[in-house]
Each structure stands twice: as structure tokens, then as C-alpha cells.
Amino acid sequence: MPDLTQTKHYDFDPIIDREPLKLPRGERIAVIPFINIEHFPAAIAGTALTSATTSLTPDPLNYGWRDYGMRVGLWRLMDLLDTFGMRATVCLNSEVIQEYPQIIEEGEKRCWAWMGHGVNNAPSNLICNPRNDDGSVSYLSEDDERSILEASLESMKASLNHKIKGWLSPYLTHTDNTPRLLEELGVEYLCDYTADDHPFRFNTPKKNLISVPYTLELNDFPAFLNIGVSAKDFGDMIIDHFDVLYEEGAANARCMPICLHTFLVGQPNKAKHIRRAFDYITSHEDVWLATGDEINDWYRTSYM
């Protein structure tokens, strides 16, 4: 019989019971563009536009579609962010450092923030495996999980020459050990729980790990591949989301993550509507165009 006991990783703290959040210069809203930059090994099935060929090796249909993001889509997004004075917070598979070094070089020129996001996006690097033949779920041992976390973080630190402060688990999957292990390894913020418009503290032993807001709502992966919204509708969703948070932020500031993948919104038909949404956002005053690292540093200074 499986153990269904789950660690209570954070406390219930409804927004109506909190003191209003105040951003550094009195802004109403902090907008945080996250870009997932991921390496999909060619011989292993990965994110697919269609499942019709995922059992094939090679699978040029899906591999080529994903690879468009690295060859073209990312650079289109990079130009778009530059146009509006935005800097990405990159959810980075550490193998990208060796496989696509130009991406790291160009991101560094732009002072992008880099978060750990596993070694690569092969299913074998998930902390849990929901695909057992008998339908059960198996989890990595604590030692194996620690090894994956350490390998990713150390590789990034060695290449980027600074500590990696943030983490997003591949497919937002982790064990009850993950927050504690991340804290032990010096990570300061985790984005796996899309539970709030504000940062909040995890119940880790040292109370030194926080959540920086991430989102499944303004996330192109579920929007296009699971829900099936149009590119125009996704642009409208970003604008509508901003309008509500901007209004609420007059009394109690909000964080607004926007989560993107190079092979999705890097496509021309979708990038057009991301541009429209970013143009709308940056036409407003009292908007902080922030990175996850900046949110983490500000919150620690002001609220911890």
C-alpha cells in the first residue's frame, strides 16, 4: 500500500490576511518573463506536436519542430525582449551549456537570470516516473535525486561563474525531499508551486527557501498543447491577466510571470501576439520588468 502522507511544504496564508506587498519603487506589478530553454536528446522521445511518430527513432517530425526553437525561435524572442527592455529568467537544462554555447553567450550579454531546470528534458531525468507498466508511480531515491540536482547546479555554476539561485523542476515534478535538498545545495527560490501572486516561504529546515511566482495559466505549453487556445487568444490572455493584476496592484502589488518555450511562441504566428501583449504591458507606468533573481533578492531584503 503506498504511503499517501505528504509533507506540508508551505502554510496556508490567504492574501486577505497579509499586509499589502510593496515593490521597490512603488510599482503596481512585477512582470517576469520566463523562457524554458531545454535540451531534448535526439534518440529519446520528448515534447511532441503530434504523438503519431513519437515511437520512432529518429523522429524528425517532432525533433525538427523542437529544434526550430533553438535555431530560430529563441533568437526571435531575444529580439522581442530587447525591443521592450525585458530580460528573461531562463529555466535552463544544464546540457544546453555544452550543446548550444552561443545561447549562453548571448544571454549573458543581456544580463539574463539563469535557473536550474534539470540536466536535460528526457523523461529519465524526472524526479518521479508516472509511466510504470503497472500504472504505479516510482520516485528517485534521495541520493539519486541529490546527484541530479548537484550535477545540474554545479555545471551551471562552473560555466556562469556565479551561484544559481533558482530552480524549476522538469515538468514541475519533485519528491517530498526536493525543497529540503535544494535548500541544502544553496538554492534560494523554487518555482514548482504556482500557488500565489506573491512570493512566500517554504517550510524547509532553515526557512531559507522561497517560492517566486510561476504560472500554468500564462504558460504556452498547456495553452497550446493541452487546451488548444489560438495564438491570438494567448496574447489576449496575457493582456487580460495584466489588466486585473494591474488594477489590484494599486492597493497590493502583484507578480505576473509569463512562461514561454522557444519552440512554441518562437514560431512567427505566435510571436506576433507576444509582441502585441508586451507592447501593451510596457505602455503602462508603475511596471517593474523583473527577473526571478531580482524578485528573490528584493523579497529577502524587504520581507525576510
Residue-level pLDDT at 132: 59
Residue-level pLDDT at 2: 43
DSSP states of 108-141:
HHTT-EEEE--S-SSGGG-SEETT-TTS--EE--
Sign of the torsion formed by the C-alpha atoms of 32, 300, 111 and 165: negative
Residue-level pLDDT at 43: 78
State the Cα–Cα distance between residues 269 and 70, nearest whole angstrom: 17
Would you tell me the crossing angle of helices 268-282 and 231-248 to the nearest 10 degrees? Answer: 20
Query: Which of 298, 294, 213 minimizes the C-alpha distance to 258?
Result: 213
State the Cα–Cα distance between residues 284 and 277, nearest whole angstrom: 12
- Extended strands (E) in the chain: 29-37, 89-92, 113-116, 128-129, 138-139, 166-167, 189-190, 200-201, 210-211, 254-261, 287-289
Whether this prediction's pTM lies above 0.85 is answered by: yes
Compute, in degrees rounded to 10, the torsion defined by CA atoms 15, 89, 124, 3: -10
Grid cell in block for residue 77: 524572442
Query: Which of 64, 39, 61, 41 minimizes the C-alpha distance to 52?
Result: 61
Q: At residue 252, what is the residue type? A: N
- DSSP assignment letter at 213: P
Grid cell in block for residue 230: 489560438
Grid cell in block for residue 228: 488548444
DSSP states of 26-56:
S-SEEEEEEEEE----TTS--S-S-GGGTTS
Residue-level pLDDT at 131: 53
Q: Tell me: the pLDDT tens digits for 26-35?
A: 999 999 999 9
State the Cα–Cα distance between residues 163 and 182, nearest whole angstrom: 13
Q: Tell me: the pLDDT tens digits for 119-146?
A: 988 766 666 655 556 655 667 889 989 9
Tell me which residues of the chain have a pLDDT lower than 50: 1-2
Compute, in degrees rounded to 10, the torsion defined by CA atoms 253, 220, 120, 197: 20
Residue-level pLDDT at 46: 83
Domains of the chain, start order: 26-41+55-303 (3.20.20.370)
